[in-house]
Amino acid sequence: MAPDPCFGSRGALRRRLPILAWLPVYSLQWLRMDFIAGLSVGLTVIPQALAYAEVAGLPPQYGLYSAFMGCFVYVFLGTSRDVTLGPTAIMSLLVSFYTFRQPAYAVLLAFLSGCLQLAMGFLHLGFLLDFISCPVIKGFTSAATITIGFGQIKNLLGLQNVPRQFFLQVYHTFLHITETRVGDAVLGLACMVLLLVLKLMRERVPPPHPETPLCVKFSRGLVWTVTTGRNALVVSSAALIAYSFEVAGHHPFVLTGKIAEGLPPVRAPPFSVTTDNKTISFSEMVQNMGTGLAVIPLVGLLESIAVAKSFASQNNYRIDANQELLAIGLTNVLGSLVSSYPVTGSFGRTAVNTQTGVCTPAGGLVTGVLVLLSLGYLTSLFYYIPKSALAAVIIMAVAPLFDARIVRTLWRVKRLDLLPLSVTFLLCFWEVQYGILAGTLVSLLILLYSVARPKTQVSEGHILVLQPASGLHFPAIDALRETIMSRALEASLPRCAVLECTHISSIDYTVVVGLGELLEDFQKRGVTLAFVGLQVPVLRTLLAADLKGFQNFTTLEEAEKCLQQEPGPWPHAVYEDSVQSTGSPCSSRSRGP
């Protein structure tokens, strides 16, 4: 039966607009769960957005401007029911590095990052993120956690005029530690303790059970609500305390201050900016942001897709990585029209979304509306929020991102992976882009070395048998050729050799040339080099090359039987080149293709 073109077009449309897959079957039960989840995430994101704007070096309202567009876009384009897009600690830190604390640069960076992310999605270039290894991600995340956390110590203690560069920040924080404001320090530490207690309580709330008495259900639900919205509760309480002192004429806290009221205007991102009676053109702005134009979109994609994959695996569904690229790219492009800085998927708020039982991305609508309502009606109240309370929210939010166990895990699993982890971690304190770039290069060098020097099992005997443990590519052919020649041709009595190619799935022209030269060397010495277990694509390539003296056998036994009359030493031993042997002489000789 011929395929239905209408069905094919509907399938393609559903892939581009995932909302069409769940909206026709949406139910009232889903609506109730999505509303609760969206409300919980909204109560979490509002205080976090205000705090993350401080990390980004921008006025507080820009955190809220960045917190709602992703909620609406992801409803239509997202393939994960759990993910929430918005400002995050790590992305805010990167924005502070590349935008010079100027909103115009931050908004333009969001637009350009979104364009690049959209292009990667349309061109299916998501696989490029696979080249950033887990040790590099862990090293960057851990360094960013320390940088962000320590960067909030100044606000926690009420210190003024502390530089933003990490090492200078550490120096000046300890230099001016005696200038600590007691009110800010006490309030900040109290907020941290309260956030920790509420988090521990949230983790210990038992799941609902049908037979639980109504009064117990109500009390547990109340505890769950309070602990889930702990950020909003703590910040609101701190603001109320600060307001009480202000009314009484006391000023023990450093406050957030006046925030621009109302919704952000819808306008094109700034393609030029005027400062100190000087106009900076678009090209100059791009040059000033430099490597940030690559680092910001790539790290944003990496963080968002990592979050989506993690929760998809946990909740047994699949995501479309390229569709996720389109969702986050369009979020940043449209967000730049409402003065947003670059956003990505938030692990913490996504966890809240999951724990509250979200059923579809529609929960984001509630979150987005809540943020817009806060912008429209609550910004005047944000004036009284102490900066120490926001610092406490940030520190408690980023603390779980530091993975102290990764070093011990890598030491047990593969110690060589500690190298890219350490390089990334240390250099990120200097410049983030250098840390990520250096760590990725080290990871690629480790990968390329394994490609250039594949481990080869060698079986010595009357006939030399070599079996590469992985693929055979052009950087490896010289090393393989030297191994074969030193073992088979440079001995006092040349002998035949068999190349067992079971694990070789493809070869390139350089490999073909190298194998051809090897065959000629064997023929000159009056012995034979045979091939065993060639996969069909590799066999076709070698046959097309028309190599002189080429022989292929289906099994190792056939090759040995054909070549057994060739001269060579009879003592039999098995060892591996560059790796310890895993098989016996018999097992290595009896393996077929």
- Report all structural domains of the chain as residue ranges with CATH numbers, in order of start: 29-203+224-261+284-401 (no CATH), 404-452 (no CATH), 456-564 (3.30.750.24)
Task: Indicate whether 579 pLDDT > 50.
Answer: no
**Where do we find the tokens 């070698």?**
542
Task: Indicate whether 211 pLDDT > 80.
Answer: no
- Mean pLDDT for the stretch of residues 103-119: 96
Query: What is the token pair recorded at 450?
Result: 């394994």
Task: Indicate whether 88 pLDDT > 80.
Answer: yes
Task: Indicate whether 574 pLDDT > 50.
Answer: no
Q: Computed from CA positions of residues 494, 496, 500, 506, in that sequence, does the dihedral angle turn out positive or negative? A: positive
Ramachandran class of 264: left when φ > 0, alpha when ψ lies in -120 to 50, beta otherwise: beta
Short-list 342, 438, 425, 441, CA closest to 166: 425
The whole-number pLDDT of residue 305 equals: 87
Task: Indicate whether 8 pLDDT > 80.
Answer: no
- Mean pLDDT for the stretch of residues 107-121: 96
In this prediction the pTM is: 0.78
Q: What is the 3-state secondary structure (H, E, C) of 527-580?
A: CCEEEECCCHHHHHHHHHHCCCCCCEECCHHHHHHHHCCCCCCCCCEEEEECCC
C-alpha triplet 410, 412, 416: angle, nearest 5°: 50
Distances (CA, A) of 62 to 46, 87, 263, 455: 11, 10, 11, 54
Q: CA-to-CA distance for 491 and 495, rounded, in angstroms?
A: 8
Q: What is the DSSP string of 131-178?
A: GS-HHHHHHHHHHHHHHHHHHTHHHHHT--S--SSHHHHHHHHHHTGG
Query: What is the token pair recorded at 272?
Result: 């030029």
- Mean pLDDT for the stretch of residues 401-423: 92
Percent of the chain with pLDDT over 70: 93
Q: CA-to-CA distance for 340 and 332, rounded, in angstroms?
A: 8
The whole-number pLDDT of residue 192 equals: 95
Q: Which amino acid is at 124?
A: H
The whole-number pLDDT of residue 362 equals: 94
Task: Indicate whether 573 pLDDT > 70.
Answer: no
Short-list 95, 398, 53, CA closest to 256: 53
Alpha helices in 204-291 (DSSP H): 214-228, 230-247, 282-289
- Mean pLDDT for the stretch of residues 213-217: 83
Q: What integer best gives the mean pLDDT of the chain?
A: 87
Residue 566 pLDDT level (bands cut at 50, 70, 90): low
For 510-561, write each residue's pLDDT tens digit: 999 999 999 999 999 889 999 999 999 999 999 999 999 999 999 999 988 8
A 10 A CB-CB count for 576 gives: 17
Note whether 584 and 575 are within 8 A (CB). Answer: no
The whole-number pLDDT of residue 519 equals: 94
Task: Indicate whether 581 pLDDT > 50.
Answer: no
Phi, psi of 219 (to 5 degrees): -65, -40
Task: Indicate whether 16 pLDDT > 90.
Answer: no
Task: Indicate whether 431 pLDDT > 50.
Answer: yes
Query: What is the token pair recorded at 354?
Result: 């999951």
Q: What percent of the residues of the chain are helix, what percent strand, and what percent coil, each to the nearest 5?
A: 65, 5, 30
Q: CA-to-CA distance for 26 and 254, rounded, in angstroms?
A: 47
Query: What is the token pair recorded at 266?
Result: 């819808």
The whole-number pLDDT of residue 592 equals: 36
Cα(first)–Cα(last) distance of the chain, in Å?
39
Residue 4 pLDDT level (bands cut at 50, 70, 90): very low
Alpha helices in 290-417 (DSSP H): 292-314, 321-335, 347-355, 363-377, 387-398, 406-413
Note whether 234 and 195 are within 8 A (CB). Answer: yes
- Mean pLDDT for the stretch of residues 232-251: 93
Task: Indicate whether 6 pLDDT > 50.
Answer: no
Top-confidence residue, 296 or 573: 296
The whole-number pLDDT of residue 109 equals: 97
- Mean pLDDT for the stretch of residues 139-165: 88
The whole-number pLDDT of residue 370 equals: 95
User: In this structure, are strands 497-500 and 464-468 parallel, antiparallel, or unpaired?
Assistant: parallel
For 278-316, write each residue's pLDDT tens digit: 899 999 999 999 989 999 999 899 888 888 887 887 788
The whole-number pLDDT of residue 212 equals: 76
DSSP state of 462: S
Q: Computed from CA positions of residues 316, 45, 329, 285, in that sequence, does the dihedral angle turn out positive or negative? A: negative
Secondary element (H or E) of residue 280:
strand 278-280
- Mean pLDDT for the stretch of residues 473-482: 90
**Where do we find the tokens 């769960």?**
33
The whole-number pLDDT of residue 10 equals: 66
- Mean pLDDT for the stretch of residues 98-105: 92
- Mean pLDDT for the stretch of residues 194-217: 83
The whole-number pLDDT of residue 565 equals: 60
The whole-number pLDDT of residue 586 equals: 35
Q: CA-to-CA distance for 221 and 553, rounded, in angstroms?
A: 71
The whole-number pLDDT of residue 360 equals: 94
The whole-number pLDDT of residue 221 equals: 82
